[in-house]
Amino acid sequence: MNKMLNARAILLASALAIAPAAYAETPADTLVVAATIDDIISLDPAQSFEFSGNDVNNNTYDRLVDFDPLDLDKGFQPSLAESWEVSEDGMSITFTMREGVTFHSGNPVRAEDAAWSLQRAVKLNKTPAFILTQFGFTPDNVEEKIVADGNTLTLNLDKPYAQSFVLNCLTANVASVIDKELVMQNVEGEDLGNTWLSTNDAGSGPYVLAAWRANEVVQLTAFEEYFKGAPAMKRVIVKNVQESSAQRLQLEAGDIDVARNLSPTDAEAIASGEGVSIEDQPRGRILYMGLNQKNELLSNPAVIEAMKYLVDYDGIANSFLKGQFVPHQSFLPKGYLGALDEMPWSYDVEKAKQILADAGVEGGTVTTAVRDLREYTDVAQALQASMAEAGLTLEIQQMTGAQVLDAYRAREVPIFLGEWGPDYADPNTNAATFAFNPDNSDEANATGLLAWRNAYEVPAAMNEATVAATQEQDSDARATMYQDIQRQYQEEAPIIPLFQRIEPTGLRDGVENFQSGGSVTSVIYRGVTKGE
C-alpha cells in the first residue's frame, strides 16, 4: 500500500511541476508510448506470457541473468547473480547473488527469494512453466533441485545441459525474482500469491508498477534505488491505442513519444515526416506455412517441394508486407545462436509445375484457415494466385485468432499460415517445437508442438539431434548443430518458414535508446533518454 502511495506521489509531483507549461508535449522526464496492450491478462511473472505483459514484467522485475539494453548481441549478462559456476559433471550450476540489492518494498533480494521464485513458477505450472520444467524440475522435486544456501543458489539439473541453454532460459520472464516476504502477505488459499501478483508488482526492476487499467493504460515510475542506477525516464506511460492511424496522429502531434503498432502506410508517412522517425527492429516472430501431413495431397513430397517455390518471397515483402516482414527461410530468427541466413528457395512457378508434373500430381484442392489479420489474408491470396498457376486450388477460410488456434491444435487445418514467436532467448525454443515430435499419434496430444499440429513425423535422427544440441557445452559447436538441423529441415520438412517479422517503431526526435527487445527479449525502458 505504501508503495502505491509513493508511486502516486511521484506521479502527482511530476505532473504538477509540468502541468501549466506542457499541453501538446510530453514532460521531459516521462516516456509516453502508444501500443495495443489489450493482451495483458496477468502481470504475475509465473503466468504472464503475452507480449504486453512481458513488456511490463521485463521492466519491473530482475532475473539472475539479463540482457544489456544497449547491446543485446552480447547475450545473457550477470544481473542479480554476480557470477556462476558449473559443476564438473555439468549437472549443477551455482550462482552467487549480488549483495545490497533491494526490492521495491525495501526488502533485500536474497538467494532464498530467487530459489522460491523459481520453485513457485514450477509449482504453479502456468503456461510458461515449461521453460523451467524442461530441466527436470517438477512440482514434487523442485524444492530439492533448486536450493538456496546463504548467498548462493544451486540448480540441480537432470542432464548436463549446455550452460548457454540454461542461462538463456533464465533470462525469460518466468524466471523473474519475486519478493517472497511481500507476496506471502498476500496469498489467497493455495494460489501462492497468483491473484495478487496479477495486478501488483513485487520486483526489484528499474521500474515500479504504479497502475494498470486493463485495455487502458500501464503506468510505471522509476525505482530510484535501482542497483544499476535510476533510469532517466521517471515515468513510463503506455496507453492503449488500437488504431495505427490514431497512433500516428498522436505521435505527429507530440502527445506521445513512441508509437509501436504502425501499419506500413503510417510507418512510411512517419519516415518522411518532420520531428519524427521510424526505427525498424527485427522481432523473433517467424511467419510460416504448415502443411498438414494428414492431408493426402499435402503429404506428397513433391507437393511439399513445389509449395516452397510458389511463394513470392520478395514480391510479398516488397509490396503489401513492406516494412512488416523480410524473407527468412529457416526456423531460427536472426539474432539467435545458430540462426541460418541461407535462402534456398525463390519464387519459381515453372519449377513448381515441373516438380508436380514429374510426380504425376494433377491438380487438387486444399483449404487454408487464416486469422482475419490483413497480413495473413494478403499472403494467403498471393499464394492462392500462384498455386492456381500450378494447377492447385486454394480455398481461404477466414476466422478469428481463437478459432484458428482451436482448429490448428486439433490438427484440423490443412494449410496453416501464421506466426510463431520464440518463448525464450535460446535456439532450443524453436528447434524443440518445429523440429521435435517424438510421438506423432493423435493420442500423444502434443498440442504445444508445431510439428505435431501439422502431423509431421519428425525423423528420429532429427529428434535426437535437437536433444543433443541442448547438451553441447561448446557454443560454436552448438551453433553448428542447429544450422545442420535447419538445413535438413529446409530439405524435407512440410513446415516452411517464409518471413521474419520487423517492427517499425515511430519515435519523436530526441528519444534515444528505445529498445523494443529485438528478436530475443521484450522492451527495455531503462536506457531511454529524451533530449530537448
Residues whose CB is less than 8 angstroms from the CB of residue 309 and which lie 6 or more positions away in sequence, other chains included? 345, 346, 347, 348, 349, 351, 352, 355
Say how many residues touch other proteins, by CB under 8 A.
60
Residue 168 interacts with other proteins (CB under 8 A)? no
Pick from 6, 96, 127, 277 the residue near other proteins by CB under 8 A: 127
**Closer residue to other proteins (CB): 184 or 214:** 214
- Helix (H, G, I), strand (E, B), or coil: what is residue 334? coil
x/- map, 34-63, other proteins, by CB under 8 A: ----x-xxx------xx-------------
DSSP 8-class letter at 175? G
Segment contacting other proteins by CB under 8 A, of 170-178, 222-230, 245-253, 341-349: 245-253
By CB under 8 A, name the one of 30, 54, 292, 324 that touches other proteins: 30
Buried b (16+ CB within 10 A) or exposed e, 284-318: bbbbbbbbbbebeebbbebbbbbbbbbbbbeebbe
- Residue 197 gets which letter from DSSP? H
Q: How far is CA 322 from CA 262, 265, 266, 465, 507, in A?
A: 12, 9, 12, 36, 19
- Write down the least CB distance from residue 451 to other proteins, Å: 14
Q: Applying CB under 8 A, does 333 fall inside the site for other proteins?
A: no
Applying CB under 8 A, does 187 fall inside the site for other proteins? no
How far apart are CB 187 and other proteins at their closest, in Å?
Answer: 17
- Is 246 a residue that touches other proteins (CB under 8 A)? yes
CB of 525 to other proteins, least distance (A): 15
Q: By C-alpha distance, which of 320, 387, 374, 319 is closest to 347?
A: 387
Among positions 28, 102, 126, 268, the unique one binding other proteins when judged by CB under 8 A: 126
141 or 245, CB closer to other proteins?
245
Instruction: Specify whether the CB–CB gap between 44 and 198 falls below 8 A.
Output: yes
**DSSP-based helix, strand, coil % in the chain, nearest 5:** 35, 20, 45
| Residue 4 touches other proteins, criterion: CB under 8 A | no
Distance of CA 139 to CAs 90, 119, 125, 219, Å? 23, 8, 8, 34
C-alpha cell recorded at residue 419: 506466426
Among the listed residues 23, 274, 360, 491, the single contact to other proteins using CB under 8 A: 23
Kindly calculate the radius of gyration of the chain based on its CA atoms and give it in whole angstroms: 24
Going by DSSP bridges, is the β-strand pair 511-512/65-66 parallel, antiparallel, or unpaired?
unpaired
The binder of other proteins chosen from 59, 173, 176, 250 (CB under 8 A) = 250
Binding test (CB under 8 A) with other proteins, winner from 71, 445, 468, 476: 445
- Number of residues in the chain: 532
Q: Interface with other proteins by CB under 8 A: which residues? A: 8, 11-12, 15, 18-20, 22-24, 26-27, 30, 32, 38, 40-42, 49-50, 125-130, 198-199, 211, 213-217, 219, 237, 239-243, 245-246, 249-250, 252-253, 255, 399-400, 402-403, 405-406, 409, 423, 445-448
